[in-house]
Chain A
Amino acid sequence: MELLTTNNVWMMVCTALVFFMHLGFSLLEVGLTRQKNAINILFKNVFIICAGLLTYAIIGFNLMYPGSFIAGFIPDYFFDLFGLSAPVADGALDLAYNEGYTYWTDFLFQGMFAATAATIVSGAVAERIKLGSFMLFSVIYITIVYPIVGSWKWGGGFLDGLGFYDFAGSTLVHSVGGWAALIAVYLLGARLGKFGKDGQSHAIPGHNIPLATAGVFILWLGWFGFNGGSVLSADPSLTSITLVTTCLAAAAGGISAFVVSTIAYKNYDLTMFLNGILGGLVGITAGADLMSPLDAVLIGLVAGGVIVLGVALVEKLKLDDPVGAVAVHLACGIWGTLAVGIFGSMAGLNQLLIQLAGVGIIGAFCCITAFGILSIIKATMGLRMEEKEETEGLDAHEHGMDAYAEFGTVQER
């Protein structure tokens, strides 16, 4: 009983830390975009956590842990698909549910992860997506796509049987969000003024770098829970090594991105440094419990380079990603997943191939579903704001509000 209590307390603390990441995402996104769209960005982030938790309670949690599958990949749930039903024994909560935590803790911890996947998309589509279209897409994506993908590994589905490994979600959370972000950015098009007629890139600087910095530090803090809680118990040796690998990868990712971007661009760009930290965190997320401290540093160093390359590549493809979401979550998510086959206690060619297969299958599924949902939305209600609305700002047109009502005027760039 004491062991369950200890485990459960740790899991609940981690749940709160992962919840706190939503503040991190909010601040990062609002800081890297323009003042005229601040309310809109925050609205999307607030919506995602609220809607995400509710849909996870209604259907997502059950879809992700169905207990059995049809043909190995369709969650098999003919009864009790909707709503939460805690296991009961002798009229009280059945604590034999799991040695690490109660049913409720399980639901809430996983629920916080689900919302994280959709919030990744909100940064990439910032400043030009229609609010209603985004809300519709993210509800469908978190409610259906995320849990089905999650069920294939964490819910005991075919990828789990294949030996695919994803400790805390480099693929299951970050790449799921990253693929959707990539598809969305492609279908949405770039912000007005981002690319010139001759294809030249123009800079659209964020309006509040201090908030973006605060956001990244908060996300790093949240990762203590994201990875620390994915141990699914308070096991002292596993949790402590996991926190160490997590932090070392973050630090290495930051330094690496800072050095690489300085060499490439001849200036000390804080936003690249911040993205590098996140890249390192995403990169270690697939195998944080498998890696030695040195492995973690190496994974982070590579992730930092991937960030700089990823941001440059996305730009070169004429895709507009204001916060670097595709580079951080998709590119480093894939890197982190593959790294399980290259470093740490599960390293090996066989494992690497299994990881690659998992990346490919999930990638295909996410791309197809995201493309399908977004295309339908694009053809029906439309994805994008009108030109005039985008120029004058989403806050003015979607919300009729001013984020900084007494702080001077918004630049209509």
Chain B
Amino acid sequence: MKKIEAIIRKSTFDEVKKALHETEVNFFSYWDVTGVGNEKQGHVYRGVSYSTSDIQRRKISLVVSDENVHSTVETILKAAHTGSVGDGKIFVSPVEEAYRIRTKEKGTDSLS
């Protein structure tokens, strides 16, 4: 099993969510994050300019079985892409074990 963490634009989230559902991925968490990156935003307040290097993004975290990693990553790469600087990143890391709390199933059975 692998954990896939993707930092994506908030504006592409709905598309990513829809695309993931279409590949039968129905279980993931997401939260809003602030970070720094290559995208720069210029602001002006009462004549004083400042650049907010603080960028708002959304992070999605999901765990899939090894066979599904490639297709899931491709799905996210396609749905979250806009072509402008700041589209985000995807990270894949190994997961040692997984459980479903209600039934105590473990391993890939708990992922569906």
How many whole Å from A191's CB to the nearest CB in chain B? Answer: 13
Chain B residue with the shortest CB-CB distance to A312 = B47
Which residues of chain B come closer than 8 Å to A311, judged between CB atoms?
Answer: 46-47
- A261 x B48 contact (CB < 8 A): no
Cα distance A311–B46 in the bound complex, in angstroms: 8
Contact mask for chain B residues 9-21; partner A; CB cutoff 8 A; 1 contact, 0 none: 0000000000000
Contact mask for chain B residues 66-108; partner A; CB cutoff 8 A; 1 contact, 0 none: 0000000000000000000000000000000000000000000
Cα distance A264–B47 in the bound complex, in angstroms: 8
Q: What's the dominant secondary structure at chain B's contact region?
A: strand
Judged by a CB distance under 8 angstroms, whether B31 is at the interface is no
Determine the interface band of chain B, counting residues with CB < 8 A from chain A: under 10
| Beta-carbon contacts under 8 Å, B17-51 to A | 43-50
- A269 x B46 contact (CB < 8 A): yes
Judged by a CB distance under 8 angstroms, whether A271 is at the interface is yes
Judged by a CB distance under 8 angstroms, whether A202 is at the interface is yes
How many whole Å from A183's CB to the nearest CB in chain B? Answer: 22
Chain B residue with the shortest CB-CB distance to A321 = B46
How many whole Å from B80's CB to the nearest CB in chain A? Answer: 25
How many whole Å from B10's CB to the nearest CB in chain A? Answer: 16
| Beta-carbon contacts under 8 Å, A287-335 to B | 311-312, 315, 324
- B50 x A271 contact (CB < 8 A): no
Which residues of chain B come closer than 8 Å to A312, judged between CB atoms?
Answer: 47
Judged by a CB distance under 8 angstroms, whether A240 is at the interface is no
How many whole Å from B112's CB to the nearest CB in chain A? Answer: 34
Give the contacting residue for A272; candidates B43, B46, B50; CB below 8 A.
B46
Cα distance A127–B39 in the bound complex, in angstroms: 31
In this complex, which of A267, A272, A311 has the most chain B Cβ atoms within 10 angstroms of its Cβ? A267
Cα distance A267–B46 in the bound complex, in angstroms: 9
Cα distance A311–B47 in the bound complex, in angstroms: 9
- A202 x B50 contact (CB < 8 A): yes
- B47 x A205 contact (CB < 8 A): no
- A266 x B44 contact (CB < 8 A): yes
How many whole Å from B105's CB to the nearest CB in chain A? Answer: 36
- A315 x B45 contact (CB < 8 A): no
Contact mask for chain A residues 269-283; partner B; CB cutoff 8 A; 1 contact, 0 none: 101100000000000
How many whole Å from A332's CB to the nearest CB in chain B? Answer: 16
Which residues of chain A come closer than 8 Å to B45, judged between CB atoms?
Answer: 203-205, 269, 271
Chain B residue with the shortest CB-CB distance to A205 = B45
| Beta-carbon contacts under 8 Å, A245-275 to B | 261, 264-267, 269, 271-272
Told that A261-B47, A265-B44, A312-B47 touch, could you supply 9 new A-B pairs with CB distance under 8 A? A203-B43, A203-B46, A203-B48, A203-B50, A264-B47, A266-B44, A269-B47, A315-B48, A324-B46
Could you list 15 examples of A-B contacts with CB < 8 Å? A202-B48, A203-B44, A203-B45, A203-B46, A203-B49, A204-B45, A205-B43, A267-B44, A269-B44, A269-B45, A269-B47, A271-B45, A312-B47, A315-B47, A324-B46
Binding site for A on B (CB under 8 A): 43-50
